């Protein structure tokens, strides 16, 4: 009787269609797709210039010594694994804010910031987007630079915001379209949100110069825009953490109460540990408390509270003097290696007899370089030279080493001559 009943159930169920029959196959991730193709390639000279994770000069992932030392220190303390508060590890959020804003920041002294620990940069942007969606009284539009990190758009969209753009990259110079940016920003409706890359713009590597930042800050103030800074590369861009945070600090000094996303994925090599922060600079400490309470309400139904491991490592490094010094050295080292590869690539292209101007390779900063290669050229360089990059001609300089920079110069020259 029992057997009949359950077979009957299965039979009935078999007649019904699946709940998910209408679910389409999601489009493949463009960046991951590059890595997949790279993996399949058997060419011994192949190069993966797709994904944005730092590699050493042997092409290997780099675990910073300060990280290993911090881990050993933490292990010796035999800490428990109790839940963190919703807003994260206190020592971490404090150090995180100090790193971005500077030790002497008036904002920190008056406690008018709230900084919560987030799931790296993505998690920070998402929490920020959700917060704006719920509490920002202005227009629902977020203005991104053209182009911007691919994931910015879906993050803000999923949070219920709308996306618009301002001119940023000038393909004719492979540099900053300063005039175009100012023109567009001057037309943005008041109280809209404008997203700015604090340093090492992703994907172009093109950053405004300080004088240009000043003018941008000025026009943004005139338009009364809410500034959302995305800082994923502090220290990693120029090698100097204060220099890379200059724009963020300048805007605050000028009276912009910004919101800020920080990531420790690249500058501490803590990619998979998911370490980040989200800061709201408020009018005063009382407002910061109210904002904090609402951020917690947003965070709780997503993941309750953040992961400990990475935050503990980051906080240990930032607050232990000799680990902090070691970190500053290592981050300087990573930035330097990238800068050196840029110089060698530009020199290599010249040596190969390229008639093009490759100055932008040196002028651009951070992990990525917008080569200026057109889609057909990208296709050729992948097919004929096994040099893998994204369709927009973006290369991750981290994937370039002294061992392969020569080959890269040859390949780029070959498809552009």
| Chain mean position to CA 227 | 16
Shortest Å, Cβ 293 to another protein: 4
How many chain residues touch another protein (CB under 8 A)? 80
For residues 128 and 298, is the Cβ–Cβ distance under 8 A? no
Does 138 help bind another protein (rule: CB under 8 A)?
Answer: yes
Closest Cα to residue 119, out of 130, 108, 106, 133? Answer: 130
In whole angstroms, what is the distance from residue 188 CA to residue 194 CA?
A: 9
Active-site residue (options: 207, 244, 266, 327): 266
Closer CB to another protein, residue 73 or residue 182?
73
277 is a site residue for another protein (CB under 8 A) = no
Q: Is 226 in the site for another protein (CB under 8 A)?
A: yes
Which residue do the tokens 């037309």 mark?
187
From the CB of 179, what's the least distance to another protein, in Å?
29
**What does the alpha-carbon distance between residue 167 and residue 309 come to, in Å, rounded to a whole number?**
39
Whichever of 280 and 400 has its CB closer to another protein, that residue is 280
Contact 398, 52 (CB under 8 A): yes
With H, G, I as helix, E, B as strand and everything else as coil, classify residue 216. helix
Residue 230 among the catalytic residues: yes
Question: Which residues in 192-211 contact another protein (CB under 8 A)?
Answer: none
Tokens of 279: 């800061």
Of residues 16-55, those binding another protein (CB under 8 A): 16, 18-26, 29, 32, 53
Q: Exactly one of 98, 173, 212, 294 binds another protein (CB under 8 A); which one?
A: 294
Measured CA to CA, the distance from residue 79 to residue 123 in angstroms comes to 25
- Of 149, 213, 327, 358, catalytic: 149
Determine which one of 177, 184, 207, 230 is catalytic.
Answer: 230
Q: Please give the backbone phi and psi of residue 356, each rounded to the nearest 5 degrees, phi first.
A: -80, 160
Candidates 154, 189, 375, 403: give the one binding another protein (CB under 8 A). Answer: 154
266 in catalytic set: yes
399 binds another protein (CB under 8 A): no
Q: Does 290 bind another protein (CB under 8 A)?
A: yes
Q: Is 327 a catalytic residue?
A: no
Q: Which of helix, strand or coil describes residue 218?
A: helix
**Placement of tokens 């020199």 in the chain:** 347
Any contact of residue 15 with another protein (CB under 8 A)? Answer: no
């Amino acid at each position: 009787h029992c057997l009949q009943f359950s077979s009957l159930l299965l039979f009935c169920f078999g007649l019904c269609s699946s709940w998910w029959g209408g679910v389409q196959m999601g489009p493949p991730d463009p960046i991951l797709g590059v890595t997949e193709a790279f993996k399949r390639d058997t060419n011994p000279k192949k190069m993966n210039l797709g994904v944005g994770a730092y590699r050493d000069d042997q092409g290997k992932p780099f675990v910073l010594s300060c990280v290993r030392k911090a881990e050993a220190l933490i292990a010796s303390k035999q800490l428990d694994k109790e839940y963190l508060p919703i807003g994260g590890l206190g020592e971490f959020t404090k150090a995180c804010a100090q790193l971005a804003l500077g030790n002497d920041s008036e904002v920190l002294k008056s406690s008018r910031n709230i900084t919560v620990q987030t799931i790296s940069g993505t998690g920070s942007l998402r929490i920020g987007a959700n917060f704006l969606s719920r509490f920002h009284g202005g227009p629902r539009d977020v203005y991104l630079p053209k182009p911007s990190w691919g994931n910015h758009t879906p993050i803000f969209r999923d949070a219920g915001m709308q996306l618009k753009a301002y001119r940023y990259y000038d393909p004719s110079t492979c540099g900053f379209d300063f005039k175009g940016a100012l023109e567009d920003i001057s037309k943005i409706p008041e109280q809209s949100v404008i997203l700015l890359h604090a340093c090492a713009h992703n994907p172009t590597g093109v950053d405004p110069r300080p004088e240009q930042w000043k003018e941008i800050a000025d026009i943004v103030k005139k338009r009364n825009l809410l500034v959302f800074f995305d800082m994923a590369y502090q220290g990693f861009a120029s090698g100097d953490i204060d220099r890379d945070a200059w724009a963020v600090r300048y805007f605050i000094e000028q009276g912009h109460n910004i919101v800020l996303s920080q990531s420790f994925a690249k500058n501490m090599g803590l990619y998979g540990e998911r370490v980040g922060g989200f800061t709201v600079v408020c009018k005063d400490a009382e407002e910061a408390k109210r904002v904090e309470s609402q951020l917690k309400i947003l965070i709780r139904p997503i993941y309750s509270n953040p992961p400990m491991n990475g935050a503990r490592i980051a906080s240990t490094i930032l607050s232990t003097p000799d680990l902090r010094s070691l970190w500053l050295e290592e981050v300087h080292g990573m930035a330097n290696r990238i800068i050196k590869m840029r110089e060698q690539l530009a020199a290599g292209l010249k040596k190969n007899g390229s008639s093009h101007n490759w100055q932008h390779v040196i002028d651009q900063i951070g992990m990525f370089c917008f080569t200026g290669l057109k889609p057909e050229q990208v296709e050729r360089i992948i097919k004929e030279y096994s040099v893998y990059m994204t369709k927009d001609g973006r290369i991750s300089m981290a994937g370039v080493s002294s061992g392969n920079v020569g080959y890269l110069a040859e390949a780029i020259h070959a498809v552009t001559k």
